[in-house]
């Protein structure tokens, strides 16, 4: 078997190297589609006998010379890549293979025979893998060992709320020394203290490989093989992943799909990418998201799904496992009164009950994150008292969703590199009827691949000003772009910190909505 790895920018180098160690592929090729590969990375690939091809066209001649047929070549490409595996096969004039599903009829063993790492990998298919599936393949042995050691794995994806979900779960599982990957970094927790593994790390699937490897190096610093020798210095794992999950999770959490945005140059979308959540053992998801996007799949997999909802619609509530009976919103603490029924746990039980939560959740979107977290914790059979205690201590995430006091005035921060119109609307709804607040909106361009729709946001803000007479300041380059599209004249202050100071000088609390990374904001 041979493999072609596409996209070396978004984790492809790590995936290629780890696949080369499995022993299943006797030859691996790689293609730097975005031309970002550094010389040291080229040397690293070469040292692992991984061939770097110049183009798909040149590779076509190579496979013809080597007489490589379709069934011999596995193509590995990320879900967001416009150059799909099928397009590559068309260029190479290789037929698409029939779907082949491997069954659980072999055991993972501690040798390097070619079959070892394909056990328990039920997914695939016509020799096309995306990066998520490749990571699942690479970590097949690791997953089996974590299961044998009763180490639960949680994967989190969704359009919004991923990082908040990760951090709240970390708080709940802190006593089990969790291994964490999130957009805030890669960390291992020991005795309630964090050990930073890597600060600037993406949430591409390959970063899960890196996180597991870095945790292993603490106890086994000389070994670079993820599967060679496993030393678990953690008792739970929580991984954030963009555009879907790998499927290694005992629980997969789908926070929401508030926008079904296009990916891969409009050849796919968020819904299709995040459907990989069903590859996890158990699924936790919002009822409305499942009904709107995965209705047939949700019915088919209902015995593996726990659903939560904020809706008070009787039909939706009756079809959900965790529901809200009552909410008392507050900027500091929100009180939630929840009922749960027939929650399916990873240990084969079904549990029922009720609990009350007091935590930082000033808006509906915060509450939805809480509901997903509580549902996942119950799926793990975490005691109600622990869930209540840990969430009661949760005060938001500095640089994301949190609250601070400046000169006696509240500043609610909603800072996110992927903030969109839906998130902005939800945040404004928290305080739209409160006269003592000033709303400051702005941010930077080029933070994520998808830019915000300034025209639609300007329309939204015009409507709020007309209907609610909100106090609004726009800031930074994104704010300037919005100002130029608004019909109503609105103040623009370039520096976001100065904008906050002016609001406070005018005796206003602040809702600060900013599209950026917190570290970038601090440097301004």
Q: Which of 160, 100, 172, 86 is nearest to 373 (CA)?
A: 172
Helix, strand, coil percent content, the chain, rounded in steps of 5? 40, 25, 40
pLDDT score, position 114: 38
Claim to verify: residue 377 and residue 506 sit in the same structural domain: no
pLDDT score, position 165: 96
| Separation between Cα atoms, residue 233 and residue 217, nearest integer Å | 10
| Separation between Cα atoms, residue 474 and residue 485, nearest integer Å | 12
Contact 201, 210 (CB under 8 A): yes
Of the given ranges (9-18, 145-154, 422-431), which has the lowest mean pLDDT? 422-431
Packing angle of the helix pair 131-138, 13-22 (nearest 10 deg): 40
In a domain, 255, yes or no: yes
Which residues 6+ apart lie within 8 Å of 384 measured at CB?
Answer: 353, 355
Range of the domain at 431: 401-522
CATH number at residue 75: 3.40.50
In a domain, 181, yes or no: yes
Claim to verify: residue 309 and residue 456 sit in the same structural domain: no
pLDDT digits (tens, 9 = 90+) for 359-369: 998 888 899 99
pLDDT score, position 126: 55
Claim to verify: residue 370 and residue 229 sit in the same structural domain: yes
What is the mean predicted confidence (pLDDT) over 212-227? 83
pLDDT score, position 486: 94
Q: Which of 45, 56, 119 is nearest to 85 (CA)?
A: 56
Torsion angle in degrees (nearest 10) through CA of 16, 79, 163, 450? 120
Claim to verify: residue 467 and residue 412 sit in the same structural domain: yes
* Interior angle at CA 34, CA 29 and CA 38, nearest 5: 75
288 phi/psi in degrees, rounded to 5: -65, -35
| Separation between Cα atoms, residue 378 and residue 110, nearest integer Å | 34
Residue 521 pLDDT > 60: no
Residue 131 pLDDT > 80: yes
pLDDT score, position 95: 60
Percentage with pLDDT > 90 across the chain:
65
Beta strands 73-76 and 128-129, pairing class? parallel
| Separation between Cα atoms, residue 15 and residue 37, nearest integer Å | 14
CATH number at residue 352: 3.40.1190.10
In a domain, 170, yes or no: yes
In a domain, 351, yes or no: yes
What's the sign of the alpha-carbon dihedral 380, 278, 13, 263?
A: negative
SS (H, E, C) 334-349: EEEEEEEEEEECCCCC
Q: How far apart are the first and last CA of the chain?
A: 52
Give the H/E segment covering residue 515: strand 509-515
Point out the domain boundary residue: 107, 130, 153: 130
Claim to verify: residue 364 and residue 241 sit in the same structural domain: yes
Residue 100 pLDDT > 50: no
Residue 396 gets which letter from DSSP?
Answer: B
DSSP-derived secondary structure for 428-442: HHHHTT-TTEEEEEE
Claim to verify: residue 197 and residue 84 sit in the same structural domain: no
Claim to verify: residue 243 and residue 322 sit in the same structural domain: yes
What is the mean predicted confidence (pLDDT) over 414-429? 83
Which residues 6+ apart lie within 8 Å of 2 measured at CB?
Answer: 25, 26, 27, 28, 29, 68, 72, 73, 74
CATH number at residue 418: 3.90.190.20
pLDDT score, position 103: 33
Q: Which of 175, 179, 251 is nearest to 214 (CA)?
A: 179
252 phi/psi in degrees, rounded to 5: -115, 125
pLDDT score, position 105: 31
Beta strands 509-515 and 128-129, pairing class? unpaired
Point out the domain boundary residue: 75, 110, 130: 130
In a domain, 136, yes or no: no
In a domain, 421, yes or no: yes
Residue 118 pLDDT > 90: no
Contact 360, 332 (CB under 8 A): yes
Residue 28 gets which letter from DSSP?
Answer: E
Q: How many domains does the chain have?
A: 3
Claim to verify: residue 365 and residue 438 sit in the same structural domain: no
Contact 496, 512 (CB under 8 A): yes
Length of the chain, in residues: 524
Q: 118: burial class by Cβ within 10 Å (0-12, 13-18, 19+)?
A: middle
The band of 99, judged by pLDDT with boundaries at 50, 70 and 90, is very low
The band of 120, judged by pLDDT with boundaries at 50, 70 and 90, is very low
Provide the CB-side half-sphere exposure for 58 (13 A, CA).
8
pLDDT score, position 108: 41
Contact 515, 417 (CB under 8 A): yes
Where are any strands of DSSP class E within 416-506?
437-443, 471-475, 491-493
Q: Which of 409, 332, 465, 426 is nearest to 474 (CA)?
A: 465
Claim to verify: residue 120 and residue 251 sit in the same structural domain: no
Residue reference for tokens 């659980």: 104
Claim to verify: residue 321 and residue 202 sit in the same structural domain: yes
Residue reference for tokens 């409305």: 288
Claim to verify: residue 518 and residue 482 sit in the same structural domain: yes
What is the mean predicted confidence (pLDDT) over 229-240? 92
- Decide which of 123 and 373 is more confident: 373
Q: How many Cβ atoms from other residues are within 10 Å of residue 38's Cβ?
A: 10
Structure tokens at 281: 């053992």
Point out the domain boundary residue: 83, 105, 130: 130
In a domain, 135, yes or no: no
Torsion angle in degrees (nearest 10) through CA of 258, 260, 264, 265? -120
pLDDT score, position 446: 67
pLDDT digits (tens, 9 = 90+) for 236-282: 999 999 889 999 999 999 999 888 888 877 778 889 999 999 999 99
485 to 370, 481, 499: CA distances (angstroms): 35, 7, 20
| Separation between Cα atoms, residue 258 and residue 276, nearest integer Å | 17
What is the average pLDDT score of the chain?
88
In a domain, 121, yes or no: yes
Claim to verify: residue 157 and residue 207 sit in the same structural domain: yes
| Separation between Cα atoms, residue 337 and residue 354, nearest integer Å | 8
Contact 2, 28 (CB under 8 A): yes
Residue reference for tokens 């709940």: 172
């Amino acid at each position: 078997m041979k493999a072609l790895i596409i996209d070396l920018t978004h984790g492809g180098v790590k995936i290629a190297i780890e696949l080369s160690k499995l022993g299943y592929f006797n030859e691996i090729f790689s293609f730097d589609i975005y031309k970002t590969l550094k010389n040291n990375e080229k040397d690293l690939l070469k040292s692992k006998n991984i061939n770097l091809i110049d183009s798909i066209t040149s590779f076509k001649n190579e496979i013809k010379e080597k007489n490589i047929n379709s069934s011999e070549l596995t193509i590995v490409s990320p879900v967001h890549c416009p150059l799909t595996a099928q397009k590559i096969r068309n260029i190479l004039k290789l037929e698409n293979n029939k779907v082949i599903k491997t069954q659980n009829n072999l055991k993972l063993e501690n040798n390097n025979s070619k079959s070892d790492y394909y056990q328990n990998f039920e997914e695939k298919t016509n020799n096309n893998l995306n990066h998520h599936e490749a990571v699942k393949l690479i970590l097949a042995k690791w997953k089996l060992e974590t299961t044998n050691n009763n180490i639960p794995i949680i994967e989190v994806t969704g359009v919004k709320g991923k990082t908040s979900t990760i951090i709240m779960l970390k708080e709940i599982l802190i006593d089990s020394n969790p291994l964490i990957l999130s957009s805030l970094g890669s960390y291992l927790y020991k005795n309630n203290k964090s050990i930073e593994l890597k600060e600037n790390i993406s949430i591409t699937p390959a970063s899960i490989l890196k996180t597991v490897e870095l945790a292993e190096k603490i106890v086994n610093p000389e070994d670079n093989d993820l599967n060679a020798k496993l030393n678990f210095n953690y008792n739970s794992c929580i991984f954030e992943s963009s555009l879907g999950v790998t499927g290694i999770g005992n629980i997969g959490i789908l926070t929401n799909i508030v926008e079904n945005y296009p990916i891969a140059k409009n050849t796919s979308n968020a819904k299709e990418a995040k459907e990989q959540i069903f590859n996890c053992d158990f699924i936790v998801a919002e009822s409305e998201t499942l009904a709107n996007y995965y209705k047939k799949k949700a019915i088919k997999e209902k015995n593996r799904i726990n659903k939560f909802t904020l809706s008070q619609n009787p039909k939706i509530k009756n079809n959900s496992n965790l529901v809200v009976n009552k909410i008392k919103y507050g900027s500091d603490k929100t009180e939630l009164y929840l009922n749960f029924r027939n929650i399916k746990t990873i240990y084969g039980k079904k549990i029922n009950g009720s609990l009350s939560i007091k935590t930082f959740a000033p808006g509906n979107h915060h509450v939805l994150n809480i509901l997903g977290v509580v549902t996942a914790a119950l799926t793990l059979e975490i005691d109600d008292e622990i869930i209540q205690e840990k969430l009661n201590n949760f005060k938001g995430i500095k640089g994301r969703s949190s609250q601070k006091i400046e000169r006696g005035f509240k500043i609610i921060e909603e800072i996110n590199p992927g903030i969109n119109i839906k998130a902005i609307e939800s945040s404004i709804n928290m305080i739209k009827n409160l006269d003592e607040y000033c709303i400051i909106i702005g941010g930077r361009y080029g933070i994520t691949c998808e830019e915000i729709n300034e025209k639609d946001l300007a329309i939204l803000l015009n409507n709020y000003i007309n209907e609610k007479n909100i106090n609004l300041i726009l800031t930074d380059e994104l704010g300037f772009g919005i100002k130029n599209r608004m019909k109503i004249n609105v103040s623009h202050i370039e520096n976001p910190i100065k904008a906050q100071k002016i609001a406070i000088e005018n005796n206003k609390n602040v809702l600060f909505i900013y599209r950026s990374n917190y570290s970038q904001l601090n440097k301004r």
